[in-house]
């Protein structure tokens, strides 16, 4: 029986692959007449009864549960995924010319020798640079100034050879500048290895730790490195360990273990360099413990955890600085002297009071001022507040934009670096002087052939069905006429209180130049308008996220920004849950839906604490182990609400090694859609067999993926060139 199943899956993949090869051959034969072949049949996944039981007794049948293979080795599962990929090749063959055109346009907007802006750390200027055509950068530094000889830290194009996936990140030099710690992943599962390189000899030390979070701290004497050990099953950041150089990993010391499975842990150093800190964070609650960097033997809790109270810390001139939501839903900035910590929030006084109109998203201490990221009317801006209470707000050049603090390693300076960009303006890096207000442009990312003045930005407010006003940022080519005929590309996220900030992407001009209106919907569940906005799309109010997106679509059509029947909806990860929900709830509103690495199996996944991310996200989605949350999640879960109805054309993408949203969620969802939907619109399922949550590694690979699904959607909208 098992042999027959394997043979069926293998032969299915082989047959579809041959059809794809034939289609490819026809497409390159200029002028050759060909008899149209019958439409290929999509793969059909076998149904195998499997009961999912909730603790309180509810039972559901999950007939595609067998597609879950945690080892990623089951030949039945791999055969099905390969068959889907081969079928996708056939279905997408017709859009290949547009796909290739889009890819060429995107890549042409990426500078071949792209490089980062150098920043100063401990006497060295650090930067990365690409050589033309390279997928991976070279990480380098120069001592003192950029005229000094270059020292290559990591030659990533060489390191990546032979790997289908490669990532090297979290490069941290030791205090004496002699050693480099970094994290390496060659699978895409985000299970990194800690490696240490001797920068004088160029050789790797024998000190190597596997299954770590890419987040390290050196002790001030450079003899010890602190790292985060991940749970091998759930991948939860679980324990802080200390490794002494030259000693066996088996001798590493446990510094801290987070027992509560709803928390993750992180490592950080205060901006003044005086303290090493461990952050324990759930979705809505946090606790920080710190130790002197010169003697990190004992980490002391700064403020004990209190459910619903979130805070992060920095340190400046004998006092602690906290960004906290304690008695401040949109956060405030408070301070306490060193001698007063550990006594609770009563010892803390405001530096920046809470506001209903301003959301404080980050704060960084410098010697004489604070740099603050704050959000006003859904736009993120930078404000510098000096120690006397005087403030300077960075200038904005457009109506819809994003500013974000950049790398600021120098503590004793009046200058703060930040980035500025929008949907039509590529990133610019500025520095702002806290004493004089002077703004200096340090670098403007050059985009060949792109002129921001050819495009327009507009912020509008759509009305939701409950009367709530939803901000929507639009971009379109100048000369656009609001006559109700344009195609629309609508994107949103709407989860975790996260604000997906507006930034330029190489694919955007390709849309706008073709007359498409790009709509970025700031729906509830995101953080654009503060905590109330985030809470309005969380747990038992999650349905607002989905209905907001649908109501934005209807508003755009009614207001003449686009045509009914010419809307393409796109979402990723938690935004894929959004795509799955709107596909079930309002399929008639969309001509095409793209769901990348989508979270679509809400009940089954959230019932299983062994799956990565689950225990940390009960405060976001709810815990279906209790009936109230179970019933609510079941009401919107895309997989559980697939029904016999017409669906739009759909493109679903995943990565086999995705650790954030497991590949089998979209695999099961697609299988159930194929077996249930009543239309003949194309449903394409693409699995990256060497990809993780962010797709394949390498700077050009994401444009390959984007060009494929964008071409699929544009053809559905009637845009074929």
> 242-293: per-residue pLDDT in tens?
999 999 999 999 999 999 999 999 999 999 999 999 999 998 999 999 999 9
Tell me what pLDDT residue 341 has: 87
Tell me what pLDDT residue 37 has: 55
Over the stretch 418-464, which tens digit does the pLDDT of each residue have? 999 999 999 999 999 999 999 999 999 989 889 999 999 999 999 99
Q: Taking Cα atoms as reference points, which of 88, 74, 87 lies closest to residue 656?
A: 74
Q: Are 231 and 216 in contact (CB under 8 A)?
A: no
3-state secondary structure 111-160: CCCCECCCEEECCEEEEEECCCCCCCCEEEEEECCCCCCEEEEEEHHHHC
| Span 50-55, average pLDDT | 97
Q: Please, what is the angle between helix 543-558 and helix 627-636, to 10°?
A: 30
| Span 115-119, average pLDDT | 95
**Radius of gyration in angstroms for the set of CA atoms belonging to the chain, rounded to a whole number:** 26
Q: What percent of the chain has pLDDT over 90?
A: 85
At 21, the pLDDT band (50, 70, 90 cuts) reads very low
Higher pLDDT, 65 or 113: 65
DSSP-derived secondary structure letter, 626: S
Please give the C-alpha separations between residue 179 and each of 49, 142, 205, 500, in angstroms, as whole numbers: 55, 15, 9, 36
Over the stretch 121-163, which tens digit does the pLDDT of each residue have? 999 999 999 999 899 999 999 999 999 999 999 999 999 999 9
Q: Is the pLDDT of residue 34 over 70?
A: no
CA 557 from chain centre, in angstroms, equals 29
d(CA 417, CA 602) in angstroms, rounded, equals 40
Over the stretch 528-583, which tens digit does the pLDDT of each residue have? 999 999 999 999 999 999 999 999 999 999 999 999 999 999 999 999 999 999 99
Which residues lie closer than 8 Å to 618 by C-beta, 6 or more apart? 262, 283, 606
Q: Are 156 and 183 in contact (CB under 8 A)?
A: no
DSSP-derived secondary structure letter, 644: S
The helix or strand, by DSSP H or E, that contains position 3, with its residue range, turns out to be helix 2-27
Q: Are 533 and 524 in contact (CB under 8 A)?
A: yes
pTM value? 0.89
Q: Which two tokens stand for residue 554?
A: 């209807």
Tell me what pLDDT residue 301 has: 95
* Long-range Cβ pairs for the range 279-286 (8 Å, 24+): 279/312, 280/305, 281/310, 282/616, 282/619, 283/496, 283/616, 283/617, 283/618, 283/619, 283/620, 284/308, 284/310, 284/619, 285/309, 285/310, 285/619, 286/310, 286/311, 286/312
> In terms of DSSP bridges, do strands 119-121 and 124-129 run parallel, antiparallel, or are they unpaired?
antiparallel
Over the stretch 316-353, which tens digit does the pLDDT of each residue have? 999 999 999 999 999 999 999 998 888 899 999 999 99
Tell me what pLDDT residue 120 has: 95
Which residue shows structure tokens 């920095």?
A: 314
164 CB-contact burial (10 Å; exposed 0-12 / middle 13-18 / buried 19+): middle
Q: Which two tokens stand for residue 247?
A: 């000693």
Q: Taking Cα atoms as reference points, which of 422, 410, 351, 412 lies closest to residue 383?
A: 351
Please give the C-alpha separations between residue 271 and each of 339, 352, 514, 537, in angstroms, as whole numbers: 19, 19, 46, 34
Over the stretch 167-216, which tens digit does the pLDDT of each residue have? 999 999 999 999 999 999 999 888 899 999 999 999 999 999 999 999 99
602 by DSSP, 3-state: which? helix
19 by DSSP, 3-state: which? helix
Which residues lie closer than 8 Å to 166 by C-beta, 6 or more apart? 136, 156, 159, 160, 184, 185, 186, 697, 698
Tell me what pLDDT residue 29 has: 30
Q: Is the pLDDT of residue 613 over 80?
A: yes
DSSP-derived secondary structure letter, 624: T
At 19, the pLDDT band (50, 70, 90 cuts) reads very low
At 38, the pLDDT band (50, 70, 90 cuts) reads low
25 by DSSP, 3-state: which? helix
Which residues lie closer than 8 Å to 541 by C-beta, 6 or more apart? 524, 535
Catalytic residues: 573, 658, 693
475 by DSSP, 3-state: which? strand
Let me know the angle formed at the C-alpha of 67 by 66 and 71, rounded to the nearest 5 degrees: 100
């Amino acid at each position: 029986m098992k042999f027959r199943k394997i043979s069926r899956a293998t032969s299915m993949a082989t047959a579809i692959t041959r059809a794809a090869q034939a289609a490819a051959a026809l497409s390159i034969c200029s002028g050759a007449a060909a008899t149209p072949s019958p439409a290929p049949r999509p793969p059909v996944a076998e149904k195998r009864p499997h009961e999912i039981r909730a603790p309180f007794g509810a039972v559901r049948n999950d007939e595609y549960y067998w597609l879950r293979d945690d080892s990623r080795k089951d030949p039945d599962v791999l055969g099905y995924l390969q068959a889907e990929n081969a079928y996708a090749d056939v279905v997408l063959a017709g859009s290949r010319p547009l796909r290739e055109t889009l890819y060429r346009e995107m890549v042409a907007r990426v500078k071949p020798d792209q490089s980062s802006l150098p920043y100063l750390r401990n006497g060295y200027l650090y930067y990365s640079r690409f050589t033309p055509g390279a997928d991976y950068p070279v990480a380098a530094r120069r001592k003192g100034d950029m005229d000094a000889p270059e020292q290559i830290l990591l030659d990533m194009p060489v390191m990546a050879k032979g790997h289908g996936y490669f990532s090297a990140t979290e490069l941290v030099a030791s205090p004496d500048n002699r050693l480099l710690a970094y994290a390496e992943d060659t699978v895409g599962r985000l299970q990194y290895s800690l490696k240490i390189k001797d920068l004088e000899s160029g050789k790797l030390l024998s000190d190597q730790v596997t299954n770590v979070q890419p987040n390290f701290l050196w002790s001030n004497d450079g003899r010890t490195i602190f790292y985060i050990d991940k749970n091998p099953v759930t991948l939860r950041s679980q324990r802080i360990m200390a490794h002494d150089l030259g000693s066996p990993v088996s001798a590493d010391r446990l510094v801290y273990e987070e027992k509560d499975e709803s928390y993750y842990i992180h490592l950080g150093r205060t901006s003044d360099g005086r303290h090493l800190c461990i952050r324990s964070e759930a979705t809505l609650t946090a606790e920080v413990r710190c130790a002197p960097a010169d003697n990190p033997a004992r980490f002391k809790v700064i403020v004990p955890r209190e459910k619903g109270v979130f805070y992060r810390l920095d340190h400046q001139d004998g006092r602690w600085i906290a960004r906290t939501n304690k008695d401040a839903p949109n956060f405030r900035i408070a301070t306490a002297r060193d001698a007063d910590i550990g006594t609770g929030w009563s010892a803390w006084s405001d530096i920046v009071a809470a506001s209903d109109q301003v959301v404080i998203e980050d704060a960084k201490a410098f010697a004489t001022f604070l740099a603050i990221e704050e959000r006003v009317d859904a736009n993120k801006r930078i404000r510098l507040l000096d120690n006397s209470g005087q403030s300077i707000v960075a200038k904005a050049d457009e109506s819809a934009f994003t500013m974000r603090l950049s790398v600021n390693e120098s503590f004793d300076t009046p200058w703060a670096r930040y980035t500025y960009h929008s949907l039509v303006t590529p990133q610019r890096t500025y520095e702002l002087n806290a004493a004089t207000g002077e703004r200096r442009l340090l670098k403007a990312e050059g985009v060949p052939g792109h002129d921001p003045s050819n495009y327009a930005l507009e912020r509008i407010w759509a009305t939701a069905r409950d009367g709530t006003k939803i901000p929507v940022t639009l971009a379109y080519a100048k000369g656009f006429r609001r006559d109700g005929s344009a195609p629309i590309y609508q994107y949103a996220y709407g989860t975790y209180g996260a604000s997906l900030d507006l930034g330029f992407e190489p694919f955007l001009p390709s849309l706008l130049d073709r007359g498409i209106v790009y709509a970025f919907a700031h729906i509830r569940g995101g953080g654009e308008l503060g905590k109330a906005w985030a809470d309005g799309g969380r747990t038992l109010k999650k349905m607002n996220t989905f209905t907001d997106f649908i109501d934005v679509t209807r508003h755009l059509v009614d207001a003449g920004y686009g045509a009914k029947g010419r809307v393409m909806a796109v979402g990723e990860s938690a935004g894929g849950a959004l795509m799955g929900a709107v596909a079930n709830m309002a399929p008639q509103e969309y001509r095409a839906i793209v769901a990348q690495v989508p979270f679509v199996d809400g009940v089954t996944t959230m019932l299983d604490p062994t799956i990565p991310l689950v225990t940390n996200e009960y405060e976001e989605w709810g815990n279906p182990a209790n009936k109230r949350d179970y019933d609510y999640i079941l009401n919107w879960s895309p997989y559980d609400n697939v029904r016999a109805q017409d669906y739009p054309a759909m493109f679903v993408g995943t990565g086999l090694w995705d650790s954030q949203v497991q590949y089998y969620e979209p695999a099961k969802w697609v299988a159930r859609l194929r077996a249930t939907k009543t239309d003949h619109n194309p449903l394409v399922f693409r699995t990256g067999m060497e990809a993780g949550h962010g797709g394949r590694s390498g700077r050009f690979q994401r444009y390959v993926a984007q060009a494929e699904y964008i071409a699929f959607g544009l053809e559905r909208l009637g845009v074929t060139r």
